[in-house]
Structure formats: C-alpha cells, structure tokens
C-alpha cells in the first residue's frame, strides 16, 4: 500500500451518525488567485511532508513520511535533524513554548520531543498496537494527542502519560487543539462528534448536526470559536456558544485537510483535490491556487508574521506570504 493511500485512510477512517439539526451558511463565490508562493522541495523525492508547525521564534517544523528526520525551515533554509527510525504516518506535530517540538512516532510506539539542538526524548505508549492522530501543545507545555487504539485523547506532561478515554462506543479520534482557557478540543470521526476536555479533566461530547460529516482537523480561534473540517461534508464547521454552523465549499469533493486560524480571524485549510489553499474570512471564501497542479496540501500552520505554511505530500513545504494572505 502506498504512503499516499495510507494517509488517505488515516483521514477518512470511520463513519458515524448524528441526529441534531443545525444551521448552514452559503458562501459567496470564491476568487481564484495565483499568488507568489515560496516553496521548498524535499531533497529526496520519496520523503513526504505530512505535518507542519510554526514556532514562536519563527522556525517552521515539519514531519516527513519515510524519513528518519524532522525537517525545519529557518531563515529561508531547509534543515534535517535526525531522529531514531523512519516515520510512518507522522500526523502529529506541534511547537512548544520552550522552542522544542513534539511529534507522534507511530513506528516506534512513542510520542517524542525534539529540542532546537536536535536532542530527542520519548515517552513510550504501552499498547501492542498504536494508532495516532494529530497532536497539540498546551501553554503549560503538555502534549495532547489523539490515540485511536485506546479510544482516548492522551496527554504527556513531565514524562508521564495520562489517558482521557471517552465513553462512546464509536471512536476515530483524529484532530486535537488547545484553547486559550486550557480546554482541549478533539474530533471523533466515527462518532461524528466534537469532544471537549475541561482543565479539570471533565469530558463532554457534542453531536454534529450533519450525519456522517467525518470531522477531522480542528483549531480554536482567539474568540473561542472551534473550527473544524467536515471531510465527507465538504464543509468547514464552526462551533461557538453552543451552536453549529457549516460553510459549504463550492468545489465538489475538494478533499479538505488541515486547518489553522490566523490572528486576523481568517480560517485557512487545504484543498487536496483542487491543489489549493482556502481562506474563510467574514463568511467569504477565497481560494489560492498552488503553483503545481499535482500539489496536495495536507497540513497548515500560520506563523508569527502571518505567513501561511503548508505541507504538500507531493514533496514540498510551501508558504503563502502574509501580504497575499491578508489581502
């Protein structure tokens, strides 16, 4: 099975049903733009960028499927920092406040931390089979990640692993994000739900209005709104003040993947099958066509300066400069 096929399976695994009704919003027609992207090709074509994260110091980190290294872009240069073993489906990656980066290491059944100097420390996951999704780092430095094999959202802090299993018989945890108030939000693909873990450890689930939407990536905006990808719904969802709204993407079956919220409130996401980035701002959609027709933007991040970064599984890490992103 090819790596691209494995990644697709990781995203769409699981289907579920929900029964609540919700609101839907129509989008204005999109504006296609060929802005000036900056792209960095991988030195080895078989290495596939999968996850991307922007650190506070301006460094942009990324994982590579099939590579025994973590990549980063600093001052316009691509660097590779070696890590133990080759990566398989390295979906989880997040920068910590101290300048280090956390990543999921499914091949070695671990969650690992790499310092800016390249030193690696790991926490083992004590199950015979390991299936991991996205990862996020909280302001206190704790790393939270989706652990499908344990039906939980799990946390590593001070070298200790703590699991927060959810009661639903449906699972498929995938996306993870941490809000400013310390609450952790996650998506349950098969359960068709959002999951919230409060700072005191309480769990609450919220059923998506659209049956079988398959929520994947999730991000929390500065105003507390929870934004998420509805993969099968071909929509971007928002949950705020107890109310769901879905924004349908005009491109049929666009293959939405990755989501990030900029400081100006713009919501950015990848459109795998359209070889484009999408921006949703003030309920208006704008799409930015990538330079190559075979581009597949899988993960997104916005850096401290407002530049929008993407990991393209066809062998590139790219950036849309802030001037174009904010226009």
Model confidence at 15: pLDDT above 60:
no
Q: Are 301 and 55 in contact (CB under 8 A)?
A: no
With H, G, I as helix, E, B as strand and everything else as coil, classify residue 196: strand
Name the band, by pLDDT with cuts 50, 70 and 90, for residue 22.
very low
Task: Please give the DSSP secondary-structure letter assigned to residue 141.
Answer: S
Percent of the chain surpassing pLDDT 70: 88
Paired with 153 in beta bridges are 146, 164
Rounded to whole angstroms, the Cα distance separating 147 from 174 reads 8
Most confident of 16-30, 133-147, 156-170: 133-147
For the chain, what is the mean pLDDT? 89
Look at the chain and report how many structural domains it folds into: 1
Boundaries of domain holding 133: 3-325
Bigger pLDDT: 55 or 9? Answer: 55
State how far Cα 167 lies from the chain centre: 24
Instruction: Give the global pTM.
Output: 0.90
Model confidence at 110: pLDDT above 80:
yes
Q: Phi and psi (nearest 5°) for 303?
A: -85, 180
Q: What value does the mean pLDDT take over residues 210-225?
A: 96
Q: Phi and psi (nearest 5°) for 324?
A: -80, -35
Neighbour count for residue 272 (Cβ, 10 Å)? 21
**pLDDT given at position 167:** 78
Model confidence at 132: pLDDT above 80:
yes
Burial class (CB in 10 A: 0-12, 13-18, 19+), 14: middle
Q: What value does the mean pLDDT take over residues 192-214?
A: 95
| Largest distance between two CA atoms of the chain | 50
What are the pLDDT digits (tens) for 277-296?
A: 999 999 999 999 999 999 99
Burial class (CB in 10 A: 0-12, 13-18, 19+), 203: middle
Q: Are 132 and 91 in contact (CB under 8 A)?
A: yes
What are the pLDDT digits (tens) for 67-105?
A: 999 999 999 999 999 999 999 999 999 999 999 999 999
Name the band, by pLDDT with cuts 50, 70 and 90, for residue 170.
confident
Query: What's the CA angle centered on 13, arms 114 and 185, to 5 degrees?
Result: 55
Rounded to whole angstroms, the Cα distance separating 92 from 224 reads 22
**pLDDT given at position 112:** 98
CATH classification of the domain holding 304: 2.130.10.10
Least trusted range by pLDDT, from 20-29, 227-236, 249-258, 317-326 = 20-29
């Amino acid at each position: 099975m090819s790596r691209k096929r494995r990644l697709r399976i990781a995203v769409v695994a699981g289907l579920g049903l929900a029964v609540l009704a919700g609101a839907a919003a129509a989008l204005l027609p999109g504006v296609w733009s060929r802005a000036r992207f900056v792209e960095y090709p991988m030195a080895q074509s078989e290495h596939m960028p999968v996850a991307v994260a922007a650190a506070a110091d301006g460094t942009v980190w990324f994982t590579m499927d099939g590579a025994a290294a973590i990549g980063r872009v600093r001052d316009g240069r691509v660097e590779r920092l070696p890590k133990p073993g080759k990566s398989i489906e390295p979906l989880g990656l997040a920068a910590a406040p101290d300048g280090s980066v956390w990543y999921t290491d499914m091949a070695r059944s671990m969650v690992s931390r790499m310092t800016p100097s390249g030193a690696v420390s790991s926490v083992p996951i004590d199950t015979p089979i390991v299936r991991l999704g996205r990862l996020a780092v909280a302001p206190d430095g704790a790393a939270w990640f989706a652990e499908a094999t344990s039906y939980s959202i799990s946390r590593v802090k001070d070298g200790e692993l703590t699991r927060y299993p959810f009661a639903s018989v449906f699972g498929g945890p995938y996306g993870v994000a941490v809000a400013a108030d310390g609450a952790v939000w996650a998506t349950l693909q098969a359960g068709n739900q959002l999951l919230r873990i409060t700072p005191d450890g309480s769990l609450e689930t919220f059923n998506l209005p659209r049956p079988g939407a398959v929520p994947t990536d999730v991000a929390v905006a500065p105003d507390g709104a929870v934004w998420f990808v509805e993969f099968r719904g071909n929509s971007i969802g928002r949950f705020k003040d107890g109310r769901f709204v879905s924004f349908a993407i005009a491109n049929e079956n666009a293959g939405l993947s990755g989501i990030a919220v900029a400081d100006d409130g713009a919501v950015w996401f990848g459109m795998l099958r359209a070889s484009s980035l999408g921006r949703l701002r003030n309920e208006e959609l704008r799409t930015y066509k990538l330079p190559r027709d075979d581009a597949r933007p899988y993960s997104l991040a916005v850096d401290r300066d407002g530049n929008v970064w993407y990991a393209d599984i066809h062998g590139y890490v790219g950036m849309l400069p802030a001037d174009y992103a904010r226009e």
